Amino acid sequence: MFAHIFMNRLRCLLRDKETIFWTFAFPLALSLFFYLALSNIGKGETFQEIDIAVVNDSRYQEDLYFKTALEEASKGEDRLFDLTLATEEEAGKLLENGSIKGYIKAGDQIELVVKESGMYQSIIKSFLDNYSQTFKAVETVLRNDPKKYQEVMESLKDRKNYVKEVPTAGGKPDIVVNYFYTLIAMACMYGSFFGMRETSDIQADISPLAARINIAPVHKLKAFLSSICASMLIHLVVMLALLGFIRYVLNIDFGPRTGYVLLTMVIGSITGVFFGAFVSALVKKSEGIKVAVLIGVSMLGSFLAGMMYIDIKYLISMNVPFLSWINPVNLLTDAFYSLYYLDDLSRYALNIGVLSGFATLFCVLTYLILRRRKYAGL
């Protein structure tokens, strides 16, 4: 009997184009839009060599130390600047049309000319400050002991880097991946549309189909379990396809722990389906209202998990952590995030633990609402 109901339900659900669209095609399209819109977003903060010009006059040519310092900073792979030599007029034009961030005028007091304040302009200023300050330091030392000239000049060449990068275990702090994690979490919660259908189709006072199923000589729980298994199977396949698309076609990194990623997806999918079943059992209104509740909760959850504005997730977790822990979309997003970015699994385990708790709760509550319901008249 299980196989009979399961197979027929499977066929029935696969014909429901609307649900398939919202659970599969829509998240897939959204992931593609995310990819096209966000793939460039990280480049905004990446350091690029700064285009600058220096006024190539006699003062610059005569100031050998400054000339060398500037040329050194504009050489090699890790250079700060891309330097252009120009007359003041040319430099002014370059600045005006945005080809350079600023130009430098050598002299007793080095001058930087810019169009606006900004990060790159500040870096140029820092470099020039550094040069003037080194000169001042030399002056101070020589004033103290003029005989040290040779020694001082020698030591100037010996500049060190004092900051060392500490390698972090886990992934890069790439903010874009989080958008895709929220999207997968949202798609998991869209499994609720399947859950909603299952409960609607088993409550005789909701749909004629349910009334027909109720008079069949099958135990209600058996009928419900067989058909919800079909729903879960379809949603799992749909989610697997979405995950595969995001991972292998869009090349979004999920970290090295594939097994755990799949486990998260499975638990997310089960939570989604049972969430829908629970809401549908609880809200005794039209399908439109049920759908509105499901979409409303999923979208609010996605918003709080950072799908529309990434900072929200961090703000909530810092200021109202309780809200993070009761939001299934955030729990799923955070589980994916932990697998990608953090090296230890304790936070992941906590997320999955709470999420499994939610899934169990939805399942038990749905059962309690649906069981032993009899209808005096329909």
Partner 1 sequence: MPVYNLCMRIIRKNIPSLLIYLFVFVGVSIIVSSSSANPQKAVNEFTRKKADIAFISKDDSPLIEGLRNEIGKIANFIDIPDNKGDLQDALFFRRVVYILRVPEGFAQKFIAGEEVFLEKTFVPGSASSAYIDLSVDKYLNTAKFYLEHMDNISQEGLVAYLNDTLSEEATVTVLPARTKTNLSNLAYTYNYMAYSLSSILILGMSAIMMALNDKDLKNRMSCSPISGTKSNLQFFLACLTFSGAAWLVQIIACFILDLENVMTLNTVFFIISSLVFTFCGTALGYLIGSIVKGTEAIPAITNVVVLGSCFLSGVFVPAELLGKSTLKIASFTPAYWFVKANNQIAQLSQFDLSSLKPVFSDIAVIFCFASAFFALSLLIRKTKRYN
- Considering only residues 185 through 244, tell me which ones interact with partner 1, judged by CB under 8 A: none
Q: Which is nearer to partner 1, 139 or 205 (CB)?
A: 139
Q: Is 2 in the site for partner 1 (CB under 8 A)?
A: no
- H helices within 75-118, ranges in order? 88-96
Q: Is 297 in the site for partner 1 (CB under 8 A)?
A: no
For 143-166, letters b (16+ CB in 10 Å) and e give eeeeeeeeebeeeeeeeeeeeeee
Contact pattern from residue 51 through residue 90 relative to partner 1, giving x for each residue in contact according to CB under 8 A and a dash for the rest:
-----------------------------x----------
Minimum CB separation from partner 1 for residue 298, in Å? 14
128 and 112 in contact (C-beta within 8 Å)? yes
82 and 52 in contact (C-beta within 8 Å)? yes
Q: Is 46 in the site for partner 1 (CB under 8 A)?
A: yes
Q: Is 116 in the site for partner 1 (CB under 8 A)?
A: yes
Structure tokens at 63: 């100031």
Rounded to 5 degrees, what are φ and ψ at 303? -60, -45
Minimum CB separation from partner 1 for residue 34, in Å? 7
Pick from 13, 91, 128, 243 the residue near partner 1 by CB under 8 A: 128
Which residues in 94-113 contact partner 1 (CB under 8 A)?
95-96, 109-113
In this structure, which amino acid lies at residue 374?
A: K
**Could you tell me the CA-to-CA distances from 69 to 75, 92, 131, 185, 317 in Å, in that order?**
10, 23, 8, 52, 47
Q: Is 321 in the site for partner 1 (CB under 8 A)?
A: no
Q: Is 136 in the site for partner 1 (CB under 8 A)?
A: yes
- Coil, strand or helix at 306: coil
Stretch that binds partner 1, among 91-99, 216-224, 243-251, 354-362 (CB under 8 A): 91-99
Q: Which is nearer to partner 1, 354 or 369 (CB)?
A: 354
Q: Which is nearer to partner 1, 197 or 313 (CB)?
A: 313
Minimum CB separation from partner 1 for residue 313, in Å? 7
| Cα of 369 vs its chain's centroid, Å | 37
Residues 218 and 3: their CA atoms lie apart, in Å, by: 13
Q: Is 125 in the site for partner 1 (CB under 8 A)?
A: yes
Minimum CB separation from partner 1 for residue 233, in Å? 23
Residues 125 and 114: their CA atoms lie apart, in Å, by: 10
